């Protein structure tokens, strides 16, 4: 059987392949899925990838599969690991961090100011895939970024470096890294002015660098033998899909609840009223990742957050036994009820950590109201993706319950926001598909979300 495009999602534990047909027509189709354990530990992800393709063949009832193109998202081999180094934490560091998270990175270290010996040691220990250097608004402070670059260059690490700081330092950066193992990428400043974020150029470069260098990660060396299209980080793919969708249906947030983490992506400029009183700028597309909130690997963190006794009283279940026998996919009614409560808590906490808030300041002129963080009050759609929010029976109710809960002074979505579910669980795949075929990706996304008439 010949398939137009297959998208592989190469995860840390499972590899999933999604097959798409009629990709060049106005009505592309999602025709099937296969999965297999990821084979990073065997030193070759192609083993797991081939296993997922074999599973797809069985599911489609065919002997052999051929394809025109294979694209991929990856969180295997630790995903996209980055360290971020800027000038002032609340300004350039935060801007650089927003760019890295939006691209799908897992940030292992963040520093503000000049790097210390202990910071240098940590970079070596973390062995990131990419090092991001920022610092200084355009034509502002120069020395910190230059000194940090010199220290990183002296480490002699074979790690790509992205510079996204003061434009005046670009030639200096080329001089610093010209005879090093570090491949240098220079991009527009993430924080060119005090009141302006410019994270999109850096996000795009991060994904390009990831694609270029991912084949050097453990277990990923042979991936190009099968994947002949783009490879981007899986969380970055969900963001790409969210950004594409927002352009066509309006402002939205996307919850992605997984076994290890919970990601929240928001694509909205917020309201004019809140923007006028915002203390510092926010990116239009923002991702927060809660590395401690997952319904399988990090299940115990959520149980601890709620409290075992509270869970026993609320659910009327043997929580100790459920924790002890917890599986990735719940099967019994008790297991499903337990995981639904974990998912609700993950969504509640992720939203609380992501959403902006109003603050009241008191001074000689009386009370002044200001806003901090991301304004979600203009959001029209709330989207659920990831294993939990696409498969649990009460997924719509869970999202409704979490997003309508009263949060004092928080800039929450209104009750009019519509809840949509990625029923086919293909949003990450469509994010990478949109790099080549945006119209097809949009059509498939609308089909999965039930937006045929939009």
- Counting beta carbons within 10 angstroms of the beta carbon of residue 215, is it exposed (0 to 12), middle (13 to 18) or buried (19 or more)? middle
Contact 395, 384 (CB under 8 A): yes
8: containing domain: 2-76
Q: What is the mean pLDDT of residues 217-235?
A: 78
Q: Residue 315 has what pLDDT?
A: 93
Residue corresponding to tokens 């009386």: 366
Higher pLDDT, 101 or 168: 168
Do 160 and 179 sit in the same domain of this protein? yes
- Counting beta carbons within 10 angstroms of the beta carbon of residue 221, is it exposed (0 to 12), middle (13 to 18) or buried (19 or more)? middle
Do 96 and 166 sit in the same domain of this protein? yes
Do 241 and 212 sit in the same domain of this protein? no
Do 334 and 390 sit in the same domain of this protein? yes
Q: What percent of the chain is modeled with pLDDT above 70?
A: 96
Q: Residue 261 has what pLDDT?
A: 86
Q: What is the mean pLDDT of residues 162-177?
A: 97
- How many independent structural domains does the chain possess? 3
Q: Residue 322 has what pLDDT?
A: 93
Q: What is the CATH number of the domain that holds 396?
A: 3.30.420
Angle at CA of residue 265, ends 90 and 414, nearest 5°: 100
Do 308 and 402 sit in the same domain of this protein? yes
Q: What is the mean pLDDT of residues 243-248?
A: 96
User: Is residue 399 one of the residues assigned to a domain?
Assistant: yes
Do 70 and 88 sit in the same domain of this protein? no
Measure the CA–CA gap between 88 and 136, rounded to whole angstroms.
Answer: 8
Q: Residue 445 has what pLDDT?
A: 97
Q: What is the mean pLDDT of residues 184-203?
A: 93
Q: What is the pLDDT of residues 326-350, one digit of tens each?
A: 888 899 999 999 999 999 999 999 9
Do 187 and 122 sit in the same domain of this protein? yes
User: Is residue 237 one of the residues assigned to a domain?
Assistant: yes
Contact 11, 73 (CB under 8 A): no
User: Is residue 139 one of the residues assigned to a domain?
Assistant: yes
Q: Does the pLDDT value for residue 41 go beyond 70?
A: no
Do 177 and 162 sit in the same domain of this protein? yes
User: Is residue 225 one of the residues assigned to a domain?
Assistant: no
Q: Residue 454 has what pLDDT?
A: 55
User: Is residue 337 one of the residues assigned to a domain?
Assistant: yes
Contact 82, 19 (CB under 8 A): no
- Nearest to 150, CA basis, from 126, 119, 127, 175: 175
Q: What is the pLDDT of residues 393-416, one digit of tens each?
A: 999 999 999 998 877 789 999 999
Q: What percent of the chain is modeled with pLDDT above 90?
A: 72
Average pLDDT across the chain, whole number: 91
Q: What is the mean pLDDT of residues 445-449?
A: 97
Query: To 10 degrees, what angle do helices 333-354 and 308-315 make?
Result: 120
Q: What is the pLDDT of residues 60-80, one digit of tens each?
A: 999 999 999 999 998 766 678
Q: Residue 89 has what pLDDT?
A: 86
How many Cα atoms occupy the beta-carbon half-sphere of 224 within 13 Å? 8
Q: What is the pLDDT of residues 106-151, one digit of tens each?
A: 899 999 999 999 999 999 999 999 999 999 999 999 999 999 999 9
Q: Residue 216 has what pLDDT?
A: 66
Would strands 262-267 and 252-257 be described as parallel, antiparallel, or unpaired?
antiparallel
Which residue, 18, 53, 76, sits at the end of a domain?
76
Q: Residue 11 has what pLDDT?
A: 79
The structure's pTM equals 0.89
Q: What is the CATH number of the domain that holds 50?
A: 3.30.420.40
Do 166 and 66 sit in the same domain of this protein? no
Contact 252, 381 (CB under 8 A): yes
Q: What is the pLDDT of residues 415-433, one digit of tens each?
A: 999 999 999 999 999 999 9
Position 453 confidence tier, pLDDT thresholds 50, 70, 90: low
Q: What is the mean pLDDT of residues 207-216?
A: 80
Q: What is the mean pLDDT of residues 211-233?
A: 76
Q: Residue 131 has what pLDDT?
A: 96
Q: Residue 173 has what pLDDT?
A: 97
Q: Does the pLDDT value for residue 446 go beyond 90?
A: yes
Do 367 and 323 sit in the same domain of this protein? yes
- What DSSP string describes 3-25? EEEEEEEE-SSEEEEEEEE-TTS
User: Is residue 243 one of the residues assigned to a domain?
Assistant: yes
User: Is residue 169 one of the residues assigned to a domain?
Assistant: yes
Q: What is the mean pLDDT of residues 214-230?
A: 74
Do 157 and 285 sit in the same domain of this protein? no
Q: Residue 78 has what pLDDT?
A: 66
Q: Residue 169 has what pLDDT?
A: 97
Position 42 confidence tier, pLDDT thresholds 50, 70, 90: low
User: Is residue 223 one of the residues assigned to a domain?
Assistant: no
Q: Does the pLDDT value for residue 258 go beyond 90?
A: no
Q: Residue 24 has what pLDDT?
A: 93
Q: For residue 225, give every residue at least 6 positions away whose Cβ sits within 8 Å of its Cβ, in sequence order, or none.
A: 46
Q: What is the pLDDT of residues 263-309, one digit of tens each?
A: 999 999 999 999 999 988 899 999 998 888 889 888 999 999 999 99
Do 261 and 397 sit in the same domain of this protein? yes
């Amino acid at each position: 059987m010949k398939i137009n495009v297959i998208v592989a999602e190469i995860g840390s534990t499972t590899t999933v392949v999604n097959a798409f047909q009629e990709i060049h027509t106005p009505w592309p189709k999602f025709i099937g899925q296969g999965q297999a354990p990821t084979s990073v530990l065997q030193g070759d992800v192609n083993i797991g990838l081939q296993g997922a393709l074999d599973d797809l063949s069985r599911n489609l009832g065919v002997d052999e599969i051929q394809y025109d193109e294979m694209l991929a998202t990856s969180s295997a081999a630790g995903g996209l690991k980055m360290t971020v180094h800027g000038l002032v934490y609340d300004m350039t560091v935060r801007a650089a961090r927003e760019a890295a998270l939006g691209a799908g990175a897992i940030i292992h270290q963040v520093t503000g100011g000049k790097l210390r010996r202990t910071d240098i040691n940590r970079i070596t220990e973390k062995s990131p895939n990419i090092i991001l250097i920022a610092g200084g608004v355009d034509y502002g402070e120069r020395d910190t970024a230059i000194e940090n670059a010199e220290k990183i260059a002296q480490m002699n690490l074979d790690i790509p470096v992205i510079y996204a700081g003061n434009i005046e330092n670009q030639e200096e950066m080329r001089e610093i890294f010209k005879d090093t193992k570090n491949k240098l990428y220079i991009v527009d400043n993430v924080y060119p002015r005090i009141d302006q974020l410019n994270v999109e150029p850096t996000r795009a470069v991060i994904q390009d660098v990831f694609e270029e260098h991912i084949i050097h990660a453990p277990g990923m060396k042979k991936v190009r033998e099968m994947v002949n299209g783009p490879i981007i980080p899986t969380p970055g793919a969900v963001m790409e899909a969210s950004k594409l969708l927002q352009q066509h249906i309006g402002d939205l947030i996307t919850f992605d609840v997984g076994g290890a983490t919970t990601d929240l992506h928001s694509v909205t400029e917020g309201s004019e009223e809140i923007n006028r009183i915002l203390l510092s700028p926010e990116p239009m597309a923002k991702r927060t990742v809660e590395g401690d909130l997952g319904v399988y690997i990090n299940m115990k963190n959520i149980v601890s957050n709620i409290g075992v006794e509270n869970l026993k009283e609320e659910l009327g279940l043997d929580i100790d036994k459920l924790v002890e026998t917890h599986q990735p996919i719940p099967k019994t009614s008790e297991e499903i009820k337990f995981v639904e409560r974990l998912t609700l808590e993950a969504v509640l906490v992720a939203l609380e950590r992501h959403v902006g808030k109003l603050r009241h300041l008191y001074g000689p002129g009386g009370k002044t109201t200001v806003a901090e963080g991301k304004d979600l009050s203009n959001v029209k759609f709330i989207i659920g993706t990831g294993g939990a929010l696409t498969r649990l029976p009460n997924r719509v109710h869970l999202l409704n319950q979490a997003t309508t809960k009263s949060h004092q002074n928080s800039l929450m979505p209104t009750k009019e926001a519509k809840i949509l579910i990625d029923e086919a669980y293909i949003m990450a795949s469509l994010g990478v598909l949109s790099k080549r075929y945006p119209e097809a990706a949009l059509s498939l996304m609308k089909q999965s979300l039930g937006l045929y008439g939009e």
